[in-house]
Structure 1
Amino acid sequence: MPETNEDLYAVADFCLVPIGTGEPSVAEYVAECARVLEKTGLTHKMAHCGFEEGPWSAVMKAIHDCHAAVHAKGAPRIATDIRIGTRVDKELQPGTGNAHKVKRVEEILARDAKA
């Protein structure tokens, strides 16, 4: 495995949950996080959880900035689950880390459907 002093390319799947807002919905807080992610310039997608893709330090800063923005909006507590993947065995083009995985699974399922 090659050693590198460069920032690792990371794909982070994270779920940010505002706690103690006193509201039945956290959609406004999640929307605030989405606004932050939009400004990062990193590849991101919001699903049941969100994911960010790019240099490790930029991804971690984006998650930090989401926390700061959601606290600023009034959430006294936040719980976040984060799953991060990196790889150094092949070079990934920015924005292709998760997309390639999804495409590969879709190809396998399509092949199975034809069989």
Structure 2
Amino acid sequence: MGTGEPSVAEYIAECVRVLEKSGLKFKMHGYGTNLEGPWSQVMQAIHDCHSAVHAKGAPRIATDIRIGTRVDREIEPGTGNEGKVKRVEEILAKSQSA
């Protein structure tokens, strides 16, 4: 972001407000945000975040996006990342109890 400020937390908070209104499942972490949902809604949410952050005064924004899609099985929208984390936790629990 071309803000000239050492912290972009205020801008990230603005984007979180947008995501909360979107109704999509998301999880913010130290180096980004996981966002889950239908393709068009995810893209609209990213667009809306950019618009909101520009409106807050940021003249430039760069967003890196990694997109994963799946067609080999049905996954309930909003549960993809949760399921991945749960599977790893189950593996760790088995190795700790053995």
TM-score (norm 1): 0.80
Q: Partner amino acid for 1:21?
A: T
- Report the residue type matching 1:37 in the other structure: L
Identify the structure with the greater strand proportion: 1
1:99 corresponds to: 82
Q: What is the number of equivalent residue pairs in this alignment?
A: 97
Report 1 or 2 for greater relative contact order, CA contacts < 8 Å, sequence distance ≥ 6. Answer: 1
Q: Distance in 2 between matches of 1:110 and 1:70?
A: 41
Does the CA-based 8 Å contact 2:26-2:35 persist in structure 1?
Answer: yes
Residue 39 (structure 1) aligned with residue 18 (structure 2): no
Say whether 1:70 aligns with 2:53: yes
- The TM-score with structure 2 as length reference comes to 0.94
Find out whether 1:28 has 2:10 as its counterpart.
yes
Q: Give ranges in structure 2 of 5+ residues lacking alignment.
A: none
- Structure having the larger proportion of residues in helix: 2
Distance 1:94 1:63 in 2: 17
After the TM superposition, list the runs of 4 or more consecutive aligned residues in structure 1 that deviate by more than 2 angstroms: none
Query: What is the alpha-carbon distance in structure 2 between the residues aligned to residue 54 and residue 40 of structure 1?
Result: 10
Unaligned runs of 5+ in 1: 1-18
Q: Distance in 1 between matches of 2:50 and 2:95?
A: 42
Write the letter of the residue equivalent to 1:89. Answer: D
RMSD of the TM alignment (CA)? 0.9
SS at match of 2:66: strand
